[in-house]
């Protein structure tokens, strides 16, 4: 059974028609502020944050530790109260709901955690049954049916009677995801969901999150401190710095034209670094007769069609050599950098016709 | 040991088991309830109520600070009110319960506090009611520690029950004092000690096994 089939049958017996009205606003963060008071100082955890998360988004919130991303995420299901502003979930003002309605609203918002937060005293199946209990579903057959289906969905059909202590980190997070989806939520909040996992497991969990988003239509809001995670799954991103919104927009645009220093710092691990041996020989001035100029050309995704090799030769001349490169495809846009060496002699004509090329320096003949 | 003494030993053993058993049953329920209230009314907890939390904490400390032998005497009016007499097994159960409950509650409290805030938050995030958080999250997660603590409490109760002999509650402690101490009958003394060692051993064994079974999950 595929992910989509699983969910659509679920939807049918829950008698709730899918509300996949793609693109409409699902979560509105409206001028949200929050501060903490420590003994001596007042810390602005969040300051005047405005965000709009649309149905079907995989929305990433990124920032360094202490940037306020966790506080912001937890404001969405009111694990964290706020001082000012509104958090609208499907038009409901979450932060001002009376207790009973808050429980009902939270049942429409799934959440997974960095440290999984499973019950160690309960089997996988009993862990999954907890949200059903919260929703007042008591029929044992119904509970069994839903648990089995959700375990199937996350690929742990054989682990139903196992205790969490016997699972690997990746398996625990899959149980966490299954548990978060038990009540067929509209949105899945991911609180650093892959930060405790190794790179390979991270990739598989991110792939699962993406398929849940695509096939079940569950909106995802995730926070992370790694741009690589944003790059792999998100379509839109917000960058937080010191409790303020540094910038937000489609991932490819933020990657192509980061406006804020915080964004550039977070992007640094993903940008092309000049190889050590070349950097050592780099000189600001042209070197001798056979010297070469080292150019960096950044693709910001606005090129449209994939770059043709002929166009590259056309741009930099027949003697151009490709030294290093890194090109990623983000939401259909080519993004990355090329390091190219050309003879010093051809430099003026290249820079004259292509002012977007950056001259890094000059090296002796052999690069 | 004469058949008469053997019979006395048997009766005393039953009296101790009765005293400790009934007290323990009450202490189990009351202690866990008290521990849950102590934990959940703390600052930032699900039933946060700082004033209640402080008051309960002080009462618990006060009872725990009072030596059992003094509590035994101090509680005589209450005992008379509750069971109509101040001597015998039933009269001993009142002070035993009242002294052991705060003791066990503090031990259980530690185990309950060790349940991570993360799990509680996960339960809150899925829309669990507070009673579900208590009964389906807090208590099951803390159970191994609570059971271990209960074994300690049971053993302390057996010790305290010997002192209850002072108010004519009978039991093994009373027998040991009357025969072993006052009549220099070391055989009875030794027999009592052996029975007590056996009781404590069985309690510890059962507790360890249960805790291991729960933890091996």
Chain A neighbors of B129, CB-CB under 8 A: 103, 134
For chain A, the average pLDDT equals: 87
Q: Rounded distance, CA A62 to CA B41, Å?
A: 35
* Average pLDDT, integer, range B86-113: 92
Give the per-residue pLDDT at A13. Answer: 39
- Output phi, psi for A77, to 5 deg: -110, 15
What is the predicted pLDDT for the residue at A4? 53
Strand order of the β-sheet with A187-191 is A109-113, A187-191, A219-224, A58-62, A236-241, A244-250
Check if B128 contacts A (Cβ < 8 Å): yes
Instruction: Say yes or no: B141 contacts chain A, CB-CB below 8 A.
Output: yes
B127 touches chain A (CB under 8 A): yes
Token code pair at residue A40: 């001596």
Answer positive or negative: Cα dihedral of B156, B157, B159, B163.
positive
Please say if the pLDDT value at position B168 is more than 80. no
Mean pLDDT value across residues B55-79:
91
CA B142 to chain A, closest CA, distance in angstroms equals 9
Residue A74's alpha-carbon distances to A80, A81, B125, in angstroms, are 5, 8, 9
- Contact state of A117 with B214 under an 8 Å Cβ cutoff: no
Name the CATH topology of A3-269: Rossmann fold (3.40.50)
- Interface check for B138 against chain A (CB to CB < 8 A): the answer is no
Token look-up 């625990």 returns A172
Contact criterion met (CB below 8 Å) for A240 and A45: no
Burial category of B181 from C-beta neighbours within 10 Å (exposed 0-12, middle 13-18, buried 19 and up): exposed
In chain B, what are the domains?
A: 9-215 (1.10.3720.10)
Retrieve residue B47's tokens: 């039933």
- Report, in angstroms and rounded to the nearest whole number, the Rg of chain B calculated over CA atoms: 20
CA–CA gap between residue A304 and residue A334 (Å, rounded): 8
Here the tokens at position A217 are 């239509």
Could you tell me the two tokens for B92? 């001993």
Are the beta carbons of A103 and B141 separated by less than 8 Å? no
Ranges of residues in chain A with a pLDDT under 50 are 1, 8-21
Q: Which of B123, B126, B217 sits opposite A121 (nearest CB)?
A: B217
pLDDT over 90 (residue B205): yes
Cα–Cα distance between A227 and B196 in angstroms, integer?
65
The whole-angstrom distance between B42's CA and the closest CA on chain A is 17
CB A56 within 8 A of CB A19: no
Query: Shortest CA distance to B207 belongs to which of B140, B156, B160, B152?
Result: B152
Partner-chain contact B141 A134, CB within 8 Å: no
Please state which CATH number belongs to domain A276-363: 3.30.70.260
A232 membership: H or E segment, kind and range: helix A227-233
Strand segments, DSSP code E, in chain A are: 25-37, 42-54, 58-62, 84-89, 92-93, 109-113, 187-191, 219-224, 236-241, 244-250, 292-300, 321-330, 333-343, 358-363
* Per-window interface: A 190-229 vs B, CB < 8 A: none
Residue of A101, A130, A176, A190 to mutate, interface with B, max B Cβ within 10 Å: A130
| The token pair that represents B140 in the structure block | 């099951």
Distance of CA B49 to the CA centre of its chain: 26
Q: Are B154 and B24 in contact (CB under 8 A)?
A: yes
Using CB atoms within 10 A of its CB, is residue A293 exposed (0-12), middle (13-18) or buried (19+)?
buried
Helices (H) and strands (E) in chain B, counts: 10, 0
Candidates B127, B141, B214; nearest CB to A134: B127
Which of B122, B129, B136 minimises the CB distance to A117?
Answer: B122
Asked if B44 is an interface residue toward chain A (Cβ–Cβ < 8 A), one would say: no
B131–A contact, CB cutoff 8 A: no
Cα–Cα distance for residue pair A143/A152, rounded to 1 Å: 14
Starting at the edge strand found earlier in the chain, the sheet holding A42-54 runs A42-54, A25-37, A84-89, A92-93
CA distance A292 to A317: 13
**Is residue B77 within 8 angstroms of chain A, CB to CB?**
no
Instruction: Work out the angle at residue A260's Cα, subtended by the Cα atoms of residues A254 and A266, and round it to the nearest 5 degrees.
Output: 70
Which of B117, B120, B127 is the best substitution to test chain A (most A C-beta atoms within 10 A)? Answer: B127
Min distance A30 CA to chain B CA atoms (Å): 21
Exposure string for B100-138, b = 16+ CB within 10 A, e = fewer:
bbbbbbbbbbebbbebeeebbbbbbbbbbbeebbbebbb
Counted across chains A and B, CB pairs separated by less than 8 A come out at 75
More confident residue, B212 or A290: B212
Picking from B117, B118, B122 by the largest number of A CB atoms within 10 A of its own CB, the best residue to mutate is B122
Residue B142: closest CA among chain A residues belongs to which residue?
A: A121
In angstroms, the separation between the Cα of residue A350 and the nearest Cα of chain B is 58
**What's the pLDDT score for residue B26?**
97
ipTM above 0.90, yes or no: no
Task: Identify all chain A residues contacting B132, using CB atoms and an 8 Å cutoff.
Answer: 130, 133-134
Could you tell me if B210 lies within 8 Å of chain A, comparing CB atoms? no
Which residues contact residue A268 at a Cβ distance below 8 angstroms, ignoring those fewer than 6 apart? none
Give the residue carrying structure tokens 């049916």.
A145
* Nearest-CA distance A312 → chain B (Å): 53
CB contact under 8 A, B123 and A130: yes
The ranges of chain A annotated as CATH 3.30.70.260 are 276-363
CA atoms of B17 and A349, how far apart (whole Å): 101
> What value does the mean pLDDT of chain B take?
90
pLDDT digit string (tens) for A238-259?
Answer: 999 989 999 999 988 888 888 8
pLDDT score recorded for residue A277:
85
Confidence of residue B89 (pLDDT cuts 50, 70, 90): confident
Which chain B residue has the Cα nearest residue A184? B126
The answer to whether the Cβ–Cβ distance between B136 and A133 falls below 8 Å is yes
Residues 6 or more apart whose Cβ sits within 8 Å of residue B211: B144, B147, B148
Cα B78 from Cα A308, distance rounded (Å) = 94
CA of A141 vs chain B CAs: smallest distance (Å) = 20
Measure in Å the smallest separation between the Cα of B73 and chain A Cα atoms: 43
| Structure confidence at residue A288 (pLDDT) | 73
Would you call B37 an interface residue with chain A, using a CB distance cutoff of 8 Å? no
Helix (H, G, I), strand (E, B) or coil at A297: strand
Nearest-by-CA chain B residue for A104: B127
pLDDT of A315: 85
> Quick one: pLDDT band at residue B73, thresholds 50, 70, 90?
confident
| Percentage of chain B modeled with pLDDT above 90 | 60
Chain B residues within an 8 Å CB radius of A110: 125-126
Residue A111 to residue B136, Cβ atoms within 8 A = no
A79, A104, A182: residue with CB nearest B125: A79
Query: Chain B: residue nearest A126 by CA?
Result: B136
Q: Where are the beta strands (DSSP E) in B121-200?
A: none
Q: Pick A122's closest partner by Cβ from B118, B132, B140.
A: B140
* CATH 3.40.50.300 residue ranges for chain A: 3-269
Residue A77 touches chain B, beta carbons under 8 Å: yes
């Amino acid at each position: 059974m595929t992910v989509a089939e699983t969910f659509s049958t679920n939807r049918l017996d829950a008698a709730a028609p899918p509300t996949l009205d793609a693109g409409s606003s699902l979560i509105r963060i409206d001028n949200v502020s929050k501060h903490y008071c420590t003994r001596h100082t007042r810390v602005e955890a969040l300051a005047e944050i405005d965000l709009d998360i649309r149905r079907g988004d995989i929305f990433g919130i990124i920032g360094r530790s202490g940037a306020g991303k966790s506080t912001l995420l937890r404001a969405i299901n009111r694990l964290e109260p706020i001082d000012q502003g509104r958090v609208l979930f499907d038009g409901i003002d979450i932060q001002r709901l009376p207790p009973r309605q808050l429980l009902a609203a939270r049942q429409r918002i799934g959440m997974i955690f960095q440290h999984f937060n499973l019950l160690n005293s309960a089997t996988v199946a009993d862990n999954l049954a907890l949200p059903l209990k919260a929703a007042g579903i008591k029929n044992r057959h119904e509970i069994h049916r839903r648990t089995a289906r959700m375990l199937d969905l996350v690929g742990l059909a054989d682990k139903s009677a196992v205790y969490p202590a016997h699972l690997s980190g990746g398996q625990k997070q899959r149980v966490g995801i299954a548990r978060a989806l038990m009540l067929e939520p509209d949105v899945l909040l991911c609180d650093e969901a892959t930060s405790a996992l190794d790179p390979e497991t991270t990739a598989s969990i991110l792939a699962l999150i993406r398929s849940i988003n695509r096939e079940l239509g569950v909106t995802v809001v995730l926070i992370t401190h790694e741009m690589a995670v944003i790059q792999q799954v998100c379509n839109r991103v917000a960058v937080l710095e010191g409790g303020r919104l540094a910038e937000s927009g489609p991932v490819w645009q933020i990657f192509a034209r980061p406006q804020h220093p915080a964004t550039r710092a977070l992007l640094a691990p993903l940008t092309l670094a000049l190889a050590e041996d070349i950097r050592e020989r780099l000189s600001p001035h042209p070197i001798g007769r056979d010297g070469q100029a080292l150019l960096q050309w950044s693709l910001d995704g606005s090129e449209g069609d994939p770059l043709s090799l002929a166009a590259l030769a056309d741009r930099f001349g027949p003697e151009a050599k490709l030294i290093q490169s890194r090109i990623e495809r983000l939401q259909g846009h080519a993004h990355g950098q090329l390091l190219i060496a050309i003879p010093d002699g051809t430099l003026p004509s290249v820079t004259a016709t292509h002012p977007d090329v950056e001259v890094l320096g000059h090296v002796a003949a052999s690069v | 040991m004469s058949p008469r003494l053997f019979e006395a030993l048997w009766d005393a053993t039953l009296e101790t088991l009765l005293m400790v058993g009934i007290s323990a049953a009450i202490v189990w329920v009351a202690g866990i309830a008290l521990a849950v209230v102590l934990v959940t009314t703390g600052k930032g907890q699900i039933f946060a109520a700082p004033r209640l939390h402080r008051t309960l904490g002080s009462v618990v400390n006060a009872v725990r600070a009072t030596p059992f032998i003094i509590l035994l005497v101090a509680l005589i009016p209450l005992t008379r009110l509750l069971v109509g007499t101040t001597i015998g097994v039933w009269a001993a159960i009142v002070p035993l319960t009242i002294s052991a409950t705060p003791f066990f509650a503090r031990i259980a409290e530690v185990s309950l506090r060790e349940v991570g805030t993360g799990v509680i938050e996960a339960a809150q995030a899925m829309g669990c009611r507070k009673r579900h958080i208590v009964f389906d999250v807090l208590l099951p997660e803390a159970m191994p520690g609570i059971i271990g603590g209960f074994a300690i409490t049971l053993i302390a109760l057996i010790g305290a029950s010997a002192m209850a002999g002072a108010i004519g509650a009978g039991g093994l402690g009373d027998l040991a004092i009357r025969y072993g101490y006052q009549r220099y009958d070391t055989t009875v003394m030794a027999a009592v000690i052996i029975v007590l060692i056996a009781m404590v051993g069985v309690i510890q064994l059962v507790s360890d096994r249960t805790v291991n079974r729960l933890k091996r999950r």
